[in-house]
Amino acid sequence: MTGTGIGLDRHLLGLKDISDSEIVSILDRAAYWEQQPEKVHRTLAGNFVANMFFENSTRTRFSFEVAEKRLGAEVLNFTAAVSSVQKGESIYDTVRTLESMGIDAGVIRLKPIGVLPELAAKIRVPLINAGDGNNEHPTQALLDLYTMRKHFGSVRGLTVSIIGDILHSRVARSNLWGLTKLGAKVQFCAPPNMRAPELDAPYVSIDEALKADVVMMLRVQLERHTTGLISSAEEYRAQYGLTEERAAKLAPHAIIMHPAPVNRNVEIDDALVEHEKSRIFTQMANGVPIRMAVVERALR
C-alpha cells in the first residue's frame, strides 16, 4: 500500500472524523450555491468525475450527477451491474482503472464495510463516500443538517428523534456524529433487534420520540437483513410507524424527515409523505447544493 498525497480534507469518507467547522463550511458553501441564479457554472470545467456505484441508488446518484454538471464537470457514470465486476473484477481494480484513465475525483457507493478507507489509502484522487455498507452516508447527513438549519435557523439545541432500523442505517450514524458536533441532541427509537448498542445515543419510546423538534423516520432495510427482523409490515407500522394518529401528536413547530426511498404505509403513512410538516422532498432538493459544495471541496 502506498500513500496518496491526497489530504484528508479532500476526501469525504464520513462525518465522524471531520470537525464541526468543516461541516459548517460545507453547509455555508451549499447555501452559496443554492442562491446562485445560474443553473450551470464553469467552476469545475476540465475536471472529470466518476460516479462509481457498486450498489443501487436513485436519489444519491442522480443528485451527484446534477451537482457535478451544474459545476461544469465532465461526468462518467459507472454501474456495477453492467461492468467487468460481473466478470470478477475487484472493486480496487475497477477504481484503479478509472483513476488510470485520468479521472480527477470519484464518488463511490459500496456495500462491503471497511473497503472505502483502504481504497482512499491507495487511490491518488479524492474519493467521496456516497454510502458504504451500514457505516456512513455523509452527504445524506449533510443535506439533513442543511435542511434543519434552513428551517430552524440553527441546529444547536434541537432534539432529533431517529426512528426505525438503526442497526442497518448509515444515515443514522452520519447524522448522529454530524448533529452532535453541531450541538443537537440525538435520540433513537427502534425495536430491540434493530438497535446498534455501539452508538452513543439514548433509546426512547415512540411516544417520547414524537416530542422532538425533528422526527426522522428510517426505511426498514430488508435487503440488509440476514434473518427476519420484523414479523410483518403491519406489525412494524403499528409499533414504530409514523401513522396519521401519531403525527397529530407532534409539536406545532416539529418537522418530519426521511432519507428515502420510502416504504409508504410501513414506516410512514402515505398521507404524511407530502404533509405540511414533511420535508422529505425538500431534503432531496437540498442534496444538490450540498453535493456541489462537497465535489467542489474535493477538487479545490
Using CA atoms, how far apart are residues 121 and 131, in angstroms rounded to an integer?
A: 18
The set of residues, in sequence order, having a beta carbon less than 8 Å from that of 233 and lying 6+ positions away, is 220, 263, 265, 266
43 is in an annotated binding site: no
**Can you point out the beta strands (E) in the chain?**
48-53, 74-79, 105-110, 127-132, 159-163, 185-189, 214-217, 255-257
What does the block give as the cell for 247?
Answer: 403525527
151 is in an annotated binding site: no
261 is in an annotated binding site: yes
225 is in an annotated binding site: no
Task: Dihedral sign for Cα 137, 203, 215, 183, please.
Answer: negative
Longest dimension (CA), the chain: 56
The set of residues, in sequence order, having a beta carbon less than 8 Å from that of 200 and lying 6+ positions away, is 176
87 is in an annotated binding site: yes
35 is in an annotated binding site: no
191 is in an annotated binding site: no
Q: What b/e readout covers 78-112, taking b as 16+ CB neighbours within 10 angstroms?
A: bebeeeebeeeeebeebbeebbeeebbbbbbbbbe
Secondary structure of residue 146 in the 3-state scheme: helix
Burial class (CB in 10 A: 0-12, 13-18, 19+), 207: exposed
140 is in an annotated binding site: yes
Peptide bond into 261 cis (omega under 30): yes
Known binding site for L-aspartate: residues?
Answer: 87, 170, 219
Known binding site for carbamoyl phosphate: residues?
Answer: 59-60, 109, 137, 140, 260-261
Known binding site: residues?
Answer: 59-60, 87, 109, 137, 140, 170, 219, 260-261
